[in-house]
Structure 1
Amino acid sequence: MAAAAVVLAGAAACGDGSNSIAGQAKRGDNKGYVAGNGQIEVIAPGKRKKPVALEGTALEGKAWSLSSARGQVVLLNFWGSWCPPRQKELPQLQSAWTRYRAAGAPVQFMGVLQKDSVTSASATAAKFGVRYPSLRDDGGKSLLGLQGKVVTVPTTLVIDKQGRIAARVSGESTETTFRSLVDQMLAEPAT
């Protein structure tokens, strides 16, 4: 049942072929485009797998790794400027990030580009006033260490303080959902 839900979510979000939804989005005609369903998966602490690895270079050229954020809750959002649901959720993510930053909460947000250029992503981030960083597209290498949890764009992962995947949202979501998931992980005791 869960595998079917993942396949459905993947089919409903942004793909990457010329006849895919993403290909249509790149053409700008939105013909046949279907948005993701925002399916949420929360993983109980005892069922979480080992910590995940992710590293890369931010759009601005600075190196970053998930291991440097150990002890904090990290929200990873996998995106492409070519994906309309992603553009819809950018203000939602920015608003959540701004609230955590203003509160001094131990939370990091990081975008992770998929099939996108630094120029397009930077322009999209500027257009929507996004201030949290994003990692450059690495040809999909970043997905290899994420336990198969990223199957479509946009996907958001919430990483617990131990570096483990604790929650996933497949498709577009809202600030309320992002904050609820991050707050849940912040409330967990550090071990």
Structure 2
Amino acid sequence: MAAAAVALSLTLGAAACSQDSNSIAAQANSGDRKGYISGDGTIERVAVADRKQPLQLSGTTLRGQHWKLSDERGKVVVVNVWGSWCGPCVREAPDLQKAWTQLHKSGKPVQFMGIDYRESAETGLAFVQSNHITYPSLADDGGQALLALRGKAASTPTTLVLDKQGRIAARVSGPVDTATLTGLVQDVLGARA
């Protein structure tokens, strides 16, 4: 009798846990991406004298082309780490595209490069095409591109503004808007290296 009561208690306890909408399992299975942790939009600027060595970033774009940061010397490069599974990344995408369009049309030496993280190139390319993103993105390479960023992209989204030598000049940890990003780029363009 006591064994039956214990078994019934365990069965009811397990059933209660599996139906709890706040349980870890229920949240993971819901697909609504609750609990995602993103940066808070903190902006870090790095003075010219405090900038480290240039990054050694390279990879293959979502469209299959090889790209190296060292080929962009003389340009300010904006690197944005994103994924279509990341809600804040999806929300900031129009702002990034608007900033790219404005800066590209201005004729200033600026290049944007996304790093599509934790998804297939096909999924990333579908997102880019459906959202009319015109600047390129590197395909996920198992984290090699993130390693090249020296720990400066701990969450998605993260946006780095690199100076004309490829050194980190500014970082936004979390979503960025058009005005903030274009302002950071303009600051780096105007800085004396």
Normalised by the length of structure 2, the TM-score is: 0.82
Residue 112 of structure 1 corresponds to 115
- 1:9-158 matches, within 5 Å, as 28-33=31-36, 35-158=38-161
Q: 1:34 Cα deviation (Å)?
A: 5.2
Distance (Å, rounded) in 1 between the aligned partners of 2:30 and 2:175: 20
Q: 1:90 Cα deviation (Å)?
A: 0.5
Runs (5+) with no aligned partner, structure 1: 1-18
- How large is the Cα RMSD of the aligned pairs? 1.9
Match of 2:188 among 180, 185, 190: 185
SS state of the match for residue 166, structure 2?
A: coil
Distance (Å, rounded) in 2 between the aligned partners of 1:99 and 1:186: 14
The one-letter code matched in structure 2 to 1:151 is: A
Normalised by the length of structure 1, the TM-score is: 0.83
Identity of aligned residues (%): 49
SS state of the match for residue 182, structure 2?
A: helix
Residue 16 of structure 2 corresponds to none
SS state of the match for residue 98, structure 2?
A: helix
Aligned in 2, Cα 1:60/1:39: closer, same or farther, shift over 3 Å? same
Distance (Å, rounded) in 2 between the aligned partners of 1:39 and 1:106: 26
Residue 20 of structure 2 corresponds to none
Distance (Å, rounded) in 1 between the aligned partners of 2:79 and 2:188: 14
The one-letter code matched in structure 1 to 2:95 is: Q
SS state of the match for residue 56, structure 1?
A: strand
State which structure, 1 or 2, has the greater radius of gyration over its C-alpha atoms: 2
Aligned residues, how many?
169
